A and B are shown apart, each in its own frame.
Chain A
Amino acid sequence: MKLPVLNDEKTESAGGCSSSGCGSSASAMDHLPDTIRDKVANHPCFSEQAHHYFARMHVAVAPACNIQCNYCNRKYDCSNESRPGVVSEVLSPAQAVKKVKAVAAAIPQMSVLGIAGPGDPLANPQRTFETFRRLSEEAPDIKLCVSTNGLNLPACAEEISKHNIDHVTITINCVDPEIGARIYPWIFWENRRIRGVEAARILIEQQQKGLEMLIERGVLVKVNSVMIPGINDEHLKEVSRIVKEKGAFLHNVMPIIAEAEHGTYFGLTGQREPTAAELEALQDACAGDMNMMRHCRQCRADAVGLLGEDRGEEFTLDKIDAMEVDYEAAMVQRAEVQQQLLAQLNSQRNKLQNQVQEQPIRILPPSRPVKMAVATKGGGIINQHFGHATEFLVYEASQKGVRFIGHRQVDKPYCEGGSSCGDDGETVLQSIVRQLEDCEVLLCSKVGYEPWSALEEAGIQPDGEHAMEPIEEAVQAVYQQMLARGLAEKPADQQQSLSQLQTA
C-alpha cells in the first residue's frame, strides 16, 4: 500500500494552502485520507498547528545502540545539553510507564509518547516493546511512536505493526554507501563490528527494507535526515525523492548539531553547521517532492512538554513517587481538554479560510513575500515578551497566504543577557538581531525601548499591537497593511509593468 504524500504544489493548486501554514498544517492535511489525518491532527511533531497546543514526551528506556554516528558521542550525557541522544536518567519499562501516566495526568494536553533513545529503541527491543505493551493497556488514549536508525527495523517491523504504534521515524541520512561511510564509522551487524562503506551499505539496505515493510503493513512512516553541509546536503534531495516514492508521509530535514564541547567526531573536526538560510533553502528544495516539518526542535530522548519547552525536571523519578495520581480521572480530563483543543484548532482553520474567501478581488501591484519573526510561549498565540524569548518562529507571508518556515534559537533571551539588560545585553541583543536579519517584522507581546531601536535600525519593524492574537491571523493582517501601504511590492526590476498585467 502506498500512502499519499503531503505536497505543497498540489495543495496550492487546490487553493487550500492559501489560508494557512503550508508546513504540515491543517490545510495541507485536508488532502490526506481521514485515517491519516486523524492520526496526525493532534500530533505535535507532525502537525505545525498542533504543536502549539499538544504536548509530547519521550521516555528514555533504550540505552544501547547498534551503530555509531559521527554527530553523536555517548560519553556526554549532561542535563545542560538539549539534543537527541542525551538523557539524565535511563528508566526501566515499569518506571517509564509510571512516569508517562504521571505526566499525562499533570499535562492533559499530552497526546503522544515516543521512545527515541538515548540509544536506538530497536537495539533494545525487549525494553521498548514491553513499555509499549504496558502503555497500550494502561493508557490506551496516548499515541505511541518510535524513532530508529533502521538497522534492526526489518527484524522488528512485524512486532511494530502488532502494537498500537501510530508512527515510526527512521533517520535516513543517505542512500549512497560512499556518503554513508563519511557519516557512520561502524555498525554492529550479525555479531561483528563492521566498518566503512560496507557498514553503510548494510545500514542503507536495512533502512530501505524496513521502510518498505512498514508501508506494506500500513504503519505511518516519517523520515528524519540530518543535514551535514559538504557531505549530504545536495544528496538529501535524492533521499527525499526516494523515501517519498516508497510511501513515507513526511520528511524532516534537521541541521547537524556539531559543537566541539559535545565531543563528537564532527564537533571536534570542525564540521560546520548549516545557516538558517541554507537549511530553509534545502527544505524548500525538498518540499517540491514532499512536505517538510519545519517546527522540529530536535528534542532530547527524555523531553517532556510542548515542543520547544522541556519540563523533564518536574518529573524526575523521586518527584513522581511523591505524586498522588488518579489515573482514571486524568484520562477523562485528558479526553475533554484534547477535544476542546481540536475544536479550537478547527475553528481557527475555518476562520482563516473564510477570511481569505471573503476578501474582495482587487488588482494589486505584484507583491513580494515578507518574513516575520514571532515570539510565542505556545497556544498558537503571540504571547511572549521579546526579552524572554529563547526562540523565534519565522513565518513567510505572501499573496498565497501565510506559511511557517522555521524557528531561530537564540543563545540567551535578551533579558538574561546581563543583570540589568545593560552592557552584556548589548551583545546578546546583537546576536538576536543577527539571527533575525532576514525578517522585516517582529511580532511579540511587548518589547523594550533599547531592543526596539536596535531592531528598527536593522530593518526589522517591532510590533506589539497584535499581542494575544493568533499568530497566522496577525501575520496575515500585518502583511495586508504592508500591501496597502505599498511596503511589500516587488522591486521594480522584477516587476512586469502593471498595465501589461491588467491587459493580460
Chain B
Amino acid sequence: MSINRHFPVLIVVAPLLASYLAPMLWRWQRRLVKPIVLSAAALSFSMSLSTALQVLRSGPVSYHVGSWEPPWGIELYVDYLSAYMAVVVTAVGLLILIYATEYAEKLVDEKNRGLFFTLALLLIAGLTGMVVTGDVFNLFVFLEIASLASYALVPIAGKKGSKGRFEASFRYLYMGAIASTFILIGIGLAYMATGTLNMADMARLLPEARQEYPRLIVASLGFFIVGFSIKCALFPLHLWLPDAYAHAPMPVNALSSGLTIKVMAYAMIRLFYSVFGIGFVSGTGLLSALQVIAGTAIIVGSLLAITQNDVIRILAYSSVSQIGYIILGATLVTKDGLAGSLLHILHHSVMKGAMLLAVGAVIYKTGKRDIRDYRGLGKRMPYTMGAFSIAALSMVGIPPLTGFVSKWILLLGTVEAKSYAFTFVILASSLLNAVYYFRLINYIHFKGETAGEVDEAPPAMLIPIIILGLGAIFLGVLAGLPLTIIWKAVASAGL
C-alpha cells in the first residue's frame, strides 16, 4: 500500500494544513511561516505532478474519501483534464508564492502578512480542490473557500494599499456572492432531477431525467452558466475584475488571473463535458449564445485595454479578453477548439503571470504603474522587463512564442467548426493585442529615460519572473508536452 494512492486528497490537504498552521506560527514562531508555506506548496506541486504522470501511465484515478463508495461518499476523480489543471494550478501557485514572500515583506502591512499567506494557501487549496473533486457539491464548497479567500486578499495590503481597496473588495464580494447563489441553485435543480451529487452518477442519470424534467435541467444549466460566467469574469459580467486588480497586491492579481478565473472556466468545461454532456448543452442553444458572448469578450476586452494608461488595468482588461478565448474554444465543440482552450489556460497563466509579476517588481521598486512612467525601465531592470516584453510578444501571438501555439490551435478549432466569424475575431483580436502590447514595449525600451535610478528586483522575485518568462518562450516549442495529456483529455471528453 503506497502513499501514492492518497495523492489526490493530499494535494488539497497539504496547503490546507499549512494554512491552518500559518496564523498560529505567525504569532509565535514567525520565521517558520515562509518555509512551511513554501514547502506545503512545493509538496502539493510534486504530488500533483506525480499524480499526473500516474494518470498518463495508467488512466484516471478515483479516490473515495472516508472509504465510502461513490455515489454515497465523496469521490475525488483525477482524470486527464483534472491532472493537467492540478499541475498548472500548483506549479504557477508555487512560483507566485515564492515571489510573494519577498513582495509581502515590503508592500503588505506587517499585521496582515501572516494572514496573507494563510489566505493565499487557502485559495490554492480551494482551487486544487475544485480541480480534483468528482462531486458537484464538493465543487461548490471548494469554490466558496477559494472565493472567500480571494475576496479577502484584495484589501490585504493594509495601509500600504490604495484607498479604494475596500470598495473594490466589496464589489467583488457582491458579484461573487450572487454568482455563488446562482451556482447553488443550479446544483439544487440538478440534484432534484437526478437525486445524486456525484458527477459521474449525475451524468449517467441526466439523460433519463431529461425525459421527465426537460425544462428543469435547462434551467439548472442556465444557472450554472451565469454563475460561473461571473466567477470567471466573462464579459459583460467582468465588472468586478479591473477594480479588484487595480487595488490588490500584484501576487494576488497573478493568483487571480493565472489561477482563479482559469479554474472557474475549468469548472464550466467540466460541467459541460462531464456532467451535462456536450451534445445536450449544444442542443439547448445556450452554447451558441455563450460563443457570441465569448467572441464579444475577446474584442471588447482588447478595446478597453487600449484605452487605459494604468498598466494594471491594461493587463486586467487583457485578462477579460483572454478568458473569452478560453470560453470560446470550449464552446466550439471541436477537438482543436477544446484543446486550444485547455492549452491557452496554461499558456495564459504563464504569460500573464510573468507580466503581472514583472509589473509587481516595478511597483516594489518604484511604486509606479502609469505606462508613461515606464520609459527607460528596459535598461534599468533588464531581466524583469525582458521577461515582461517576451510575455507581451507571446501574448500578441508572435511565432514561435508560447501564445502563438494556443491561438493557432484555437484558430484551427474555429475553422473545424466552420465558424469563420470567430476565426476573424481571433485574428482581429491579435491585432488589437498588438496595439496595446507594442505600446507598452515601446514605452519600456524605446522612449528615452524617465524611470530614474532603479535596479533589479531581489532574487526571490526575479527567479519566478525569469522562470515564467522562459516559459513564455519555450512552452510554445515544447507544447507537445502538455498536449499529450490534453489530447487524451479531449478524447475522453467525447469529441
On whether the two chains bind one another, the answer is: no
B residues within 8 Å of A by Cβ? Answer: none
A residues within 8 Å of B by Cβ? Answer: none
